[in-house]
């Protein structure tokens, strides 16, 4: 048919083969080739057809290169309607992952056979979209309403066996898929099986309460998102409308999704995550060091989580603590975490046991003599970290990579404590490290290219999303967070309450409000950091006066049962505490602050634009490679809503001119110390350019 779709006749069966590496995506050429093959088969002597794919997967979805471009014919819905209308039986042979438009292609075929290792799914919701080629109409006709809602709203793939259980796959085989598919097609032809068109089936009626309950659950499951309610409407239409009318409604709602800023943001994040893995200026031929074993210094919550991240990827880990008591405590935390993973169904007992078996303990650095990578994960004491790296320099073999998990400290100074600064970099994990996906990889001045390349490649093995940062206090994420928390505290003392500040950001889409985050992290952490600074370097006293008073009163946050809120000892459920509001009002008066109500819009703008303004400085300084990297950091590490695209994309979406105007308003009200606009922001507004355009410079 063309370079990517082939059609041959095998006896009485027409075999349509897609071969478009790497994932057989539904490019225009693939769509055209399929259409031409179906039409060719309609007029030859074959009795049935098989659609299968070369390579490691069936059609894995849309061609991302076509995202954002004008649609080229044949359009997928039209193609699939023609596939389904064929007078000859068409069998889809599935292996690898049949996702999105790829699975919709399979659904338009009359029968489906799959390898037992195959997975199928409709992940469009993760891009703020819905299946737009009949998926919301065909799945309910095969699997019923409730199974359809779960599949499409979750966006998660399911195994072939499960797909067969709910009627989406007709036959599951374990070997030689093409031979089995040909035999299946011949059997169907021989027995004169019906040309079974899914569009001609009816959807079994369910009570309206099914839709009502799912819609109610979206308030928590998909808070603030616009695609999921549209998906529910589409599935309901499959039950209440004809296929043609339902498909028309699906296309209308799909078009709405495509134009929705949320989908634009989610598609931005899709690409930003992939681009973040690329290090600017790093040649493709830079080698990667072999990492088969890892050492972790420090067996606390962070160190244990890091150890699990590597063990879960099949990499052996040696956990080093200062004494046997500390080591037992650290290994016990790991045991408890694995037990929790088994209880939640995240790991089987055997898999958890295998992973735990890869983690051993030691109390002497000599145990690290042969490891390929060591990660220091002790508390934030720069002198302690330098001492550890000096010891590692002597204990570790030449070529071992030495990494620090510091959240703030100068990686250049830590590297200088060794005789091998080229082997040193930062690997900033986020807690809990075995769950959180973000990894900030901090490139120091003397970090070797192959060390950086090795760690970026390793991040994929341990299923982390890695972003490269330069060296500065707090790197990308925590540096920006200082302004965010500063404004949260200022809004609090100037007229807000813990509840009003938290509600403003939570309702806007953040995973948690900033006051709750402080309680979760521990108010004493920031307190200790401030106490180590000269008073003149701590900034505006109003921005830390209340948390300091709370810490000195023993209110450290969740860990002590009291912080800005009071917490239930068993459930950690929080309640408001009038004593805290009294403290806020008292300290405001002591600082001469006249409190007045602050609305949610101002609270959001002050906190989010503080992030944006600092992000602009980070870009201008070259700490972050690109705006999308900052967005990846904040979505994966700090609970920023993905459907807003990260702080930098959000600034573009709002309009940089609008952002600058608001920041200038805040500067006029609050002064230059906190609100001097970043020069890059001023420059882009002056030139009429967006951050996206600046990135393409």
For residue range 585-637, list pLDDT tens digits in order: 999 999 999 999 999 999 999 999 999 999 999 999 999 999 999 999 999 99
Whole-model pTM: value is 0.94
Instruction: Please report the pLDDT score of residue 233 as a whole number.
Output: 97
Average pLDDT, the chain: 96
Tokens of 643: 């459907």
Instruction: Please report the pLDDT score of residue 536 as a whole number.
Output: 84
| Rounded average pLDDT over 90-111 | 98
Domain 293-469 belongs in CATH node 3.40.50.1110: no
Instruction: Please report the pLDDT score of residue 313 as a whole number.
Output: 97
Residue 543 to residue 546: CA distance in whole angstroms: 8
Instruction: Please report the pLDDT score of residue 436 as a whole number.
Output: 95
| Rounded average pLDDT over 228-242 | 97
Set 124, 250, 273, 487: catalytic member? 124
* pLDDT confidence band for 461 (50 / 70 / 90): very high
Instruction: Please report the pLDDT score of residue 591 as a whole number.
Output: 97
Instruction: State the DSSP code for 199.
Output: G
Report pLDDT digits (tens) over 302-315.
Answer: 999 999 999 999 99
DSSP characters over 598-625: --HHHHHHHHHHHHHHHHHHHHHHTSBS
User: For 195-217, b where at least 16 C-beta lie within 10 A, e where not — what string?
Assistant: bebbbeeebeebeeebbeebeee
Instruction: Please report the pLDDT score of residue 530 as a whole number.
Output: 87
Set 84, 104, 440, 587: catalytic member? 104
Domains 477-590 and 600-695 share a fold: yes
**Burial class of 162 by CB neighbour count within 10 A (0 to 12, 13 to 18, 19+):** middle
In the predicted model, is pLDDT for residue 267 greater than 80? Answer: yes
Is residue 132 reached through a cis peptide bond, with omega within 30 degrees of 0 on the bond before it? no
In the predicted model, is pLDDT for residue 68 greater than 80? Answer: no
In the predicted model, is pLDDT for residue 350 greater than 80? Answer: yes
Our CA angle for 153, 154, 160, nearest 5°, is 115
Residue 91 to residue 83: CA distance in whole angstroms: 11
Instruction: Please report the pLDDT score of residue 679 as a whole number.
Output: 98
Which of the residue ranges 9-13, 50-54, 479-483, 538-542 would you say has the lowest mean pLDDT?
A: 538-542
- Are 351 and 326 in contact by the 8 Å Cβ rule? The answer is no
Ordered strands of the 438-442 beta sheet: 359-362, 316-320, 293-297, 373-376, 401-404, 424-429, 438-442, 465-469
Class of domain 600-695: mainly alpha
Helix, strand, or coil (residue 545)? helix
Report pLDDT digits (tens) over 181-233.
Answer: 999 999 999 999 999 999 999 999 999 999 999 999 998 889 999 999 999 99
In the predicted model, is pLDDT for residue 696 greater than 90? Answer: no
Report pLDDT digits (tens) over 135-165.
Answer: 999 999 999 999 999 999 999 999 999 999 9
Considering only CA atoms, which of 291, 307, 453 is closest in space to residue 372?
A: 291
Tokens of 330: 């650290």
- 477-590 folds as 1.10.1040
DSSP characters over 622-647: TSBSSHHHHHHHHHHHS---GGGTHH
DSSP characters over 529-540: HHHTS-GGGS--
DSSP characters over 485-520: HHHHHHHHHHT--HHHHHHHHHHHT-SS-HHHHHHH
Per-domain residue ranges of the chain:
5-259, 293-469, 477-590, 600-695
Instruction: Please report the pLDDT score of residue 277 as a whole number.
Output: 94
Give a three-class secondary structure readout of 256-275. Answer: HHHHCHHHHHHHHHHHHHHH
* pLDDT confidence band for 582 (50 / 70 / 90): very high
| Rounded average pLDDT over 667-691 | 97
- 5-259 folds as 2-enoyl-CoA Hydratase; Chain A, domain 1 (3.90.226)
Q: What is the CB neighbour count within 10 angstroms for residue 679?
A: 11
Tokens of 559: 């860990």
Instruction: Please report the pLDDT score of residue 535 as a whole number.
Output: 86
* pLDDT confidence band for 36 (50 / 70 / 90): very high
Per DSSP bridges, beta strands 111-115 and 48-53 are: unpaired
Considering only CA atoms, which of 351, 291, 51, 225 is closest in space to residue 643?
A: 225
DSSP characters over 47-98: SEEEEEESTT-S--SB-GGGTTSPP-SSPHHHHHHHHHH-SSEEEEEE-SEE
Instruction: Please report the pLDDT score of residue 269 as a whole number.
Output: 97
Instruction: Please report the pLDDT score of residue 532 as a whole number.
Output: 78
Rounded percentage of the chain residues whose pLDDT exceeds 90: 93
Report pLDDT digits (tens) over 469-519.
Answer: 999 999 999 999 999 999 999 999 999 999 999 999 999 999 999 999 999
| Rounded average pLDDT over 247-259 | 96
- Are 418 and 400 in contact by the 8 Å Cβ rule? The answer is no
User: For 125-161, b where at least 16 C-beta lie within 10 A, e where not — what string?
Assistant: bbbbbbbbbbbbbbbbbbbbbbbbbebbbbbebbbbe
Report pLDDT digits (tens) over 369-405.
Answer: 999 999 999 988 899 999 999 999 999 999 999 999 9
- Are 435 and 305 in contact by the 8 Å Cβ rule? The answer is yes
Instruction: Please report the pLDDT score of residue 196 as a whole number.
Output: 96
Residue 124 known to be catalytic:
yes
Residue 321 known to be catalytic:
no
């Amino acid at each position: 048919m063309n370079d990517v779709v082939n059609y041959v006749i095998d006896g009485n069966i027409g075999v349509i083969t897609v071969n478009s590496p790497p994932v057989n995506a539904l490019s225009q050429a693939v769509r055209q080739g399929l259409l031409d093959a179906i039409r060719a088969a309609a007029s030859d002597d074959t009795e049935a057809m098989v659609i299968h794919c070369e390579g490691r997967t069936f059609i894995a979805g849309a061609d991302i290169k076509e995202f954002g471009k004008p649609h080229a014919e044949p359009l997928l819905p039209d193609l699939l309607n023609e596939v389904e209308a064929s007078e000859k039986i068409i069998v889809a042979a599935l292996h690898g992952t049949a996702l999105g438009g790829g699975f919709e292609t399979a659904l338009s075929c009359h029968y489906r056979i799959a390898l037992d290792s195959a997975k199928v799914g409709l992940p469009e919701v993760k891009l703020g979209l819905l299946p737009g080629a009949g998926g919301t109409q065909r799945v309910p006709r095969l699997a019923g309403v409730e199974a359809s809602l779960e599949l499409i709203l979750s966006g998660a793939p399911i195994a072939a066996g499960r797909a067969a259980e709910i009627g989406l796959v007709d036959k599951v085989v374990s070997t030689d898929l093409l031979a089995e598919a040909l035999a299946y097609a011949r059997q169907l032809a021989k027995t004169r099986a019906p040309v079974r068109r899914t569009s001609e089936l009816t959807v079994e009626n369910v009570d309206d309460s099914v839709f009502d309950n799912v819609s109610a659950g979206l308030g928590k499951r998909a808070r603030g998102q616009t695609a999921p309610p549209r998906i529910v409407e589409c599935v309901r239409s499959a039950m209440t409308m004809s296929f043609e009318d339902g498909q028309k409604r699906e296309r209308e709602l799909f078009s709405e999704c495509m134009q929705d800023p949320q989908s634009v943001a989610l598609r931005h994040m899709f690409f930003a995550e992939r681009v973040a893995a690329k290090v600017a200026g790093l040649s493709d031929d830079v080698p990667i060091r072999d990492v088969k074993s890892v050492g972790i210094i420090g067996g606390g919550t962070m160190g244990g989580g890091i150890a699990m991240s590597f063990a879960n990827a099949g990499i052996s880990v040696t956990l080093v603590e200062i004494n046997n008591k500390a080591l037992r405590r650290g290994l016990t935390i790991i045991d408890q975490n694995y037990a929790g993973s088994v209880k939640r169904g995240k790991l089987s007992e055997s898999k958890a046991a295998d992973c735990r078996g890869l983690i051993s303990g030691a109390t002497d650095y000599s145990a690290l003599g042969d490891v390929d990578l060591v990660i220091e994960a002790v508390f934030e004491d720069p002198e302690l970290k330098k001492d550890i790296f000096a010891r590692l320099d002597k204990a570790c073999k030449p070529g071992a990579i030495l990494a620090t998990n510091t959240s703030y400290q100068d990686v250049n100074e830590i590297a200088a404590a060794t005789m091998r600064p080229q082997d040193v970099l930062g690997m900033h994990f986020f807690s809990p490290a075995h769950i959180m996906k973000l990894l900030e990889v901090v490139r120091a001045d003397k970090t070797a290219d192959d060390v950086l390349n090795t760690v970026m490649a390793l991040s994929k093995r341990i299923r982390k999303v890695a972003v490269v940062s330069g060296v500065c206090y707090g790197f990308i994420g925590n540096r920006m967070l200082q302004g965010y928390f500063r404004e949260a505290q200022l809004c609090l003392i100037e007229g807000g309450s813990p509840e009003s500040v938290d509600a403003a950001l939570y309702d806007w889409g953040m995973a948690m409000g900033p006051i709750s985050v402080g309680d979760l992290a521990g108010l004493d952490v920031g307190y200790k950091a401030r106490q180590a600074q000269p008073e003149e370097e701590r900034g505006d006293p109003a921005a830390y006066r209340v948390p300091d008073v709370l810490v000195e009163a023993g209110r450290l946050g969740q860990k002590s049962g009291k912080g800005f809120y009071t917490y239930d000892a068993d459930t950690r459920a929080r309640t408001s505490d009038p004593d805290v509001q009294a403290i806020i009002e008292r300290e405001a008066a002591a600082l001469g602050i006249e409190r007045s109500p602050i609305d949610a819009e101002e609270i959001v703008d002050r906190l989010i634009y503080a992030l944006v303004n600092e992000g602009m400085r980070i870009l201008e300084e070259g700490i972050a490679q690109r705006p999308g990297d900052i967005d990846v950091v904040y979505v994966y590490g700090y609970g920023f809503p993905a459907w807003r695209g990260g702080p930098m994309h959000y600034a573009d979406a709002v309009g940089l001119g609008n952002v600058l105007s608001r920041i200038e308003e805040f500067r006029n009200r609050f002064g230059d110390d906190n609100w001097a606009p970043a020069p890059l922001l001023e420059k882009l507004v002056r030139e009429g350019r967006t951050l996206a355009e600046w990135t393409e410079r």
